Each structure stands twice: as C-alpha cells, then as structure tokens.
Structure 1
Amino acid sequence: MSQLTQGTISFINHEKKYAMIDYEEGNKKKTVRASIDEAIQKQLKAKGVIKKVHHFMMGDVVSFIVKLSDRGDRMVATQLEFLYNNALDVLVNKATIQNKFIGYLKMVDDQYFVKEIDSYLFFPVPFSNWQIKPAENELNEQVFFSLENLHKKEKITASLFNNKYIPAFETTVKLFKSKTIVEAPVVKITPHSIYVTIVDDIQAKLPFEDNIAIGTIIPVQITHLGKNKIAVEKAIVTEE
C-alpha cells in the first residue's frame, strides 16, 4: 500500500492548475508537483478518497501519495487533500478585529481573485449582476478588500472596497434609503413567486398571489438591499 505523506504548498499556478509541495522524506527535503484541477478533486470526492473539494492556496498543509507519473518520467503527488493553513487562520483572526486587507487583483480562468500582499493567498472575488467588473488595466494593481464567509474557510471570498455598480442599482439604493414606495410591474409568475421590476433590469420577488397577471402594477417597498439580493414587500398605499 502507498504511504500517505504530508507537506506544504510552496508554489501554486492556478492558471495551469498545478502546485509544488515541499515535504521531508528520510530527513531530506524534497519537492513534488501535484495537480489542483477541480475536476480531479471531484472524482476523488465521488470515490470517497477525499472529504471535500478545496481551492488550494499557498501555505496549505496537505496530505498526498507520491507515485511515478503515468508517463514514467518523474514522481508526482496524487490524492491531494487539504488539511489546514496557518496563514489563513491568521488572516481570519485578523478579519474579526479589522477586516481590511491589501492585495493585488488577478484573473485566472475568467475568474477574479485578490492575492493578499503578505501571505500570497488567493481569494475569489464574486460579482453580482449589478456590479461593474474591473477593466483589464486594473488587473495586477493594488486593491483594498475585506473577507466574507469567515465561518466557512473553504468558502471564504473577498469583497473589494471600491465596488462599482450600474446606474440602476445606484437608483435602487436611493429608493431604499428614502423608503420610497415603487410602482413595480409584474414581469414573471411562477407557482410560488411573483417577480417585479424595481428599476430597469433589477428585479425582486414577492409571494405568489391569485388574480395577478403579467403587467399588473404592485406597490412595493424595499426591505433589504445587498450587493447580491434585494428583498421587497407589498406596500400599503393610503389615500390622502
């Protein structure tokens, strides 16, 4: 049976989907290459070899098995599984006190990331449909960001401080702050929900009601506004 080994990721290339792992064997320091392809991780998870799919980072302590590559020309690490990351723990602890970091904006496989300036850890940057994504000339530039989803380390993401939004969202923010009642037309109906338009392409949903048709105007008030979600409730309009 192959021996399970433990090491630390010392270099990572997300674009080419591989990492280099430093480990010790017989009191000798060695380095081995491993694939970090998510498709391979999903296969290993389906077979029960690893517990969960992980977005690997610099400093990750991992377990793996060293074996001869399929081409037989070198040793490689297989069955890669994340164990822990002390550098990540430090950032999470810092975020609970002051959640503001500096990093560099990157793009890998059409996905935006920030690379934290001291640890070199990569964090994905999700964008809502209402945000304006950074231009190409903004890549590799320093940005300020905060960390989100701190309670689940495998799902931590970064949120940029200088987020930019489409004009319709800026208008929606003003409507929310002023508690304005919006005359919202119904644009979609499902068995459980009614979808209305707030401003331009920005939509929200209400619970299903009978006798509502496409085009019906419903007065609503925005009760929650986040960069990924808008919640509304039916407003009561009083006659003066």
Structure 2
Amino acid sequence: MTDTDKIYRGLVSFVHYDKHFATIEYKAGGKMKSINTKTKLPGAGGKTHHFRVGDEINFKLRLTDRGDRQTAYDVEFLYNGGLDKLTQKARSENRFSGYLKQVEDDLFVKEMETYLFFPLKLSPWENKPGEQSFNAPVTFQLVNLDKPKQIAAALSYRVFKPEYREALKAFEAKEPIPAIITKVSPYAVYLDLYGGKIPSKINLPAPGLENLEAGQELNVLISFMNEDRVVVQPA
C-alpha cells in the first residue's frame, strides 16, 4: 500500500464555506495533526459532501497540485454525532431556530445551538428569501431525514408563487384545469400548467390519450401535489 492509498480517520473541526475548505483533525504516529481539504471536490463514491463541524470521516492524503504541502482527498462521510441528535429530535418535534446565511449564490440555515449549517431547500414555486432576511433569525424544519448526506433545511414560513397557490386551490377543490401539451413520447405526455409555470406529465399508455400532439390543450385533475412535485391525470 502506498502513502496515497492509506486511509485515515478524522474529525472536521472547522469549515470555511466562503473559501470552500475544511480542516480535519486526525491522529498519526501517536500525534494529533490537522490537514485541510477542498469542500467542493467529489469524495469517495464520486459525490460532493456537504461538510459540517463534527463530521467523522475517512480520507486519504496526497500532495497539492503545487506540491508544497499535503491535502486530504477521497473523503468519505461516516457520521456526525451532533447531526444525529438533531435528526432524532426532528422525528418527534421538527422545529428549530437558526439564522439564514448566504455563501456566494447558495443559501444555508445555521442552527442556533449546534452552529451546524444546512443547505436551504427551496421549492421550484417558492419565492427566494430577500437580502433583508440574511443573518436574521428564522424557524425551520429538517428534510430528507432518512438520507444523512442529503439533510437540508426548509423554512417554517414559506412564500409561494401565485401559480402554486392556484394549483393548491384546484387540487383541494378537485377542479379540472387546462394544460398545454408540450411533448408526446412513447412513454409520456408532457404538460405545462398555468402558462408554463408548473410542468407535469402523464405516463403512457393511458385510456383516452391516443393521437395527441404538442400544442393541444388537455383538461387535467391534480391527483397529488407537494412543494416539489405536481402529479396530474386526465379530467
């Protein structure tokens, strides 16, 4: 095994989200050491990990491109004790307090007690919080609880766009709405609702959906909807 193949175990002690690096504390040769790693590089398995303070990880070492120092790479997330506690709490009482943060073009929520950062999950039909909300206190829920690597935050008070509110009314009232066919494939009819603001599709084959063409209008009923997806069926 070469030095670059050796796997080390470490703990993330610091994350600089603006500059995209994290500091890892680890033990080697009986001594505690620290090493930095870039946070936007793919880790083990080829996926980018959202680093948080307290992450227990496996990693390898290699020289930087400049060759003047070592850096951690091929990082594999194992667990985060603080994150696990928040996840357990969320299963019974999913309400937390924090601060809305902007890092370049990305939005995060910083949990008030643990200081853990969570990516802010926005619905396609949700208005993005304005700059006046940055660094302000917010309440939020954790989402994707069963996928530790994908846990994110959703604000408790969300402002949705008019087309989403109209779709929700139609869904609750079970009212048919007109949709424009944008594409027909052997497997699905693709639709635009509310002037193209909400896309959806109907899988084929389906009764009564033969000989359809793009540009035609089709009345549909919303059979299911949440903040991320709208499912329709022929009216």
Match of 1:191 in 2: 186
Q: Which amino acid aligns with 2:225?
A: L
Report the Cα distance in structure 2 between the residues aligned to 1:35 and 1:187, rounded to whole angstroms.
Answer: 42
* Correspondence 1:233 to 2:229: no
Match of 1:36 in 2: 39
Deviation at 1:222, TM superposition (A): 1.0
Contact in 1 for aligned 2:39/2:48 (Cα 8 Å): no
* Correspondence 1:11 to 2:6: no
Q: 1:171 aligns with which of 153, 158, 166?
A: 166
What's the % identity of the aligned pairs? 36
Residues 5-40 of structure 1 show CA distances to partners (whole Å, capped at 9, x for unaligned) of 32211110122121112234455443322222324x
Report the Cα distance in structure 1 between the residues aligned to 2:183 and 2:52, rounded to whole angstroms.
Answer: 42
Report the Cα distance in structure 1 between the residues aligned to 2:189 and 2:66, rounded to whole angstroms.
Answer: 57
Deviation at 1:75, TM superposition (A): 4.8
- 1:132 is paired with a residue whose SS is coil
Residues 178-216 of structure 1 show CA distances to partners (whole Å, capped at 9, x for unaligned) of 111223333332332223333222232223432223343
Match of 1:57 in 2: 52
Q: Mind listing any 5+ residue stretches in structure 2 that lack a counterpart?
A: none
Report the Cα distance in structure 2 between the residues aligned to 1:214 and 1:28, rounded to whole angstroms.
Answer: 67
Match of 1:124 in 2: 119
Deviation at 1:69, TM superposition (A): 4.8
- RMSD, aligned α-carbons: 2.4
Deviation at 1:72, TM superposition (A): 5.5
Q: 1:205 aligns with which of 195, 201, 204?
A: 201
Aligned positions, number: 227
Q: 2:137 aligns with which of 130, 133, 142?
A: 142
- 1:127 is paired with a residue whose SS is coil
Give the stretch that moved more between structures: 97-106 or 27-36: 27-36
Q: How does 1:86-97 map to 2 (within 5 A)?
A: 86-97=81-92
Report the Cα distance in structure 1 between the residues aligned to 2:158 and 2:177, rounded to whole angstroms.
Answer: 25
Report the Cα distance in structure 2 between the residues aligned to 1:186 and 1:68, rounded to whole angstroms.
Answer: 54
Report the Cα distance in structure 2 between the residues aligned to 1:121 and 1:9, rounded to whole angstroms.
Answer: 12
Match of 2:222 in 1: 222
Q: Which amino acid aligns with 1:20?
A: T
Q: Which amino acid aligns with 1:34?
A: T
Q: 1:28 to 1:218 in 2, by over 3 A?
A: same
Q: 2:154 aligns with which of 156, 159, 162?
A: 159
Q: 1:197 to 1:80 in 2, by over 3 A?
A: closer
Contact in 1 for aligned 2:40/2:49 (Cα 8 Å): no
**Structure 1 ranges of 4+ moved more than 6 A:** none
Q: 1:228 to 1:78 in 2, by over 3 A?
A: closer
- 1:38 is paired with a residue whose SS is coil
- 1:58 is paired with a residue whose SS is coil
Report the Cα distance in structure 2 between the residues aligned to 1:4 and 1:197, rounded to whole angstroms.
Answer: 50
Q: 1:181 to 1:37 in 2, by over 3 A?
A: closer
Report the Cα distance in structure 2 between the residues aligned to 1:25 and 1:173, rounded to whole angstroms.
Answer: 57
- 1:137 is paired with a residue whose SS is helix
